[in-house]
Structure 1
Amino acid sequence: MPRRRHRVCLQGGLRLDINLLVRQGYIRPGASRGPYYLPWTNTATGEVVDIAIISSNMTGPGEWWFRIRLGDVDQWITLRAQPRRFGGRQWYFQCPSTHRLCSVVWRRPGATRFCSRHAWRGQVAYASQFESPVDRAHRAQARIKARLIGDHDPDLWELPPKPKWMRWTTYSRLEEKYDHYEWVLNDHLIGLVARLTALDAKRG
């Protein structure tokens, strides 16, 4: 008898972005780096959800690797470089499962290693695919608030003020998005009240 395939939320797992790791100094072309502690945080709450020990080696004529130790997991991922169109090199992970080059690898919930999104095809879905429009609006607002909150008390601010380092154009764009999601939530609330009012009228 056929069974319905159960998919888990990809964002519920852990994510490694090689471009972000390079920008943050965890990986450096031409150098050996680490070991370092790498935390993952919940984007909505800022709470640390896991911590790994990472190291990398990008010296030598092509024997480049990235190592991550997380609980019982001790995984080595090959690193590859591709020439850029206007000079320099772009770095990638080589997926341990598909052997494709990718900028991001994921460890889905319940898995024991990091792989590309293509390796988890059919097993995962994005968080937005599990959510209603209202859920997506709440999550998007929480994500914007987490980006802006800084040292402010989250209980005192619905939409935090612009951080000193952020451009006004960026802040204005986030403010517009926040207001759009607020409109989505208000529209849903108005519709809900209308349905409840109509239901009460029928009962009366």
Structure 2
Amino acid sequence: MPRPRERVCLQDGLKLDLNRLARKGFVQHGANIGGRGITWTHSYWGEIATGMISADMSGNNEGWFRIQLGSLDQWITLVSRPRHFGGRQWYFLCPIKSRLASVLWKPNGASRFCSRQTLGRQVAYQSQFNDATNRAHGGIARIKSRLIGNLDPDEWDLPPKPKWMRWATYNRYSEQYDRHEDVLDRGCITLAAKFLGK
């Protein structure tokens, strides 16, 4: 049974992922980046917000990140830590808890970005609201996306093993797929029994 929807869904709000911003070129390690436009989109609602970001990561240990979004003008400290095998990893310093975070969230109704741990039990991920049937559908979709490559997903129930994948991994995906299918089959049988009045 899904949890009652008393908490705010994180995925319906805004997300700042520092590693993804670096991969996309919005921020650059060892450089000061001027203002750049950023847009957040939702798979159902389309574009939900636009803003400007700028960052200074030119220092070795510390920098800053600025997000301007409507009336919000938030400055966030950036901190780097050495990696085990060399190089440095950059993190946001949560403005409330002062803890390192790669991702900051601004859920609907929040006044600023902060870490997931700061928000506590006020928020939840979308998957926490799903019932068993929706989780099974999501699981099947994830397995297909990992196996299918450029094939048509509607053409296959369980796609064939990709050439690069080990048999043990493929067999694990196959077992997970079968468990998800069993959940969906039980759901259909239960629904049919209710419909037929048995």
Unaligned runs of 5+ in 2: 1-5, 157-161
Which deviates more, 109-118 or 27-36? Answer: 27-36
Which deviates more, 13-22 or 61-70? Answer: 61-70
Which deviates more, 70-79 or 121-130? Answer: 121-130
Unaligned runs of 5+ in 1: 1-5, 149-155, 161-165
Provide the alpha-carbon RMSD of the alignment.
3.6
Kindly provide the amino acid, as one letter, of the partner of residue 56 in structure 2.
Answer: N
State the shift of 1:167 in Å.
Answer: 8.5
Kindly provide the amino acid, as one letter, of the partner of residue 89 in structure 1.
Answer: R
State the partner residue of 1:36: 36
Identical-residue share of aligned pairs (%): 47
CA distance in 2: counterparts of 1:39 and 1:141, whole angstroms: 30
State the shift of 1:11 in Å.
Answer: 2.0
Aligned to 2:187, the other structure's residue is in SS state helix
CA distance in 1: counterparts of 2:45 and 2:135, whole angstroms: 19
CA distance in 1: counterparts of 2:37 and 2:139, whole angstroms: 28
Task: Give the 3 Å change call, closer, same or farther, for CA 45–55 of structure 1 in structure 2.
Answer: same
Kindly provide the amino acid, as one letter, of the partner of residue 134 in structure 1.
Answer: T
State the partner residue of 1:74: 73
Kindly provide the amino acid, as one letter, of the partner of residue 18 in structure 2.
Answer: I
Q: Deviations over 1:74-116 (max 9, x none)?
A: 1111000001111110110000000001111111110011100
**Is the Cα–Cα contact under 8 Å of residues 136 and 183 in structure 2 kept in the other structure?**
yes
CA distance in 2: counterparts of 1:138 and 1:127, whole angstroms: 14
State the shift of 1:185 in Å.
Answer: 2.9
State the partner residue of 2:129: 130
After TM superposition, the score normalised by the length of structure 2 is 0.74
State the partner residue of 1:87: 86
State the shift of 1:190 in Å.
Answer: 2.2
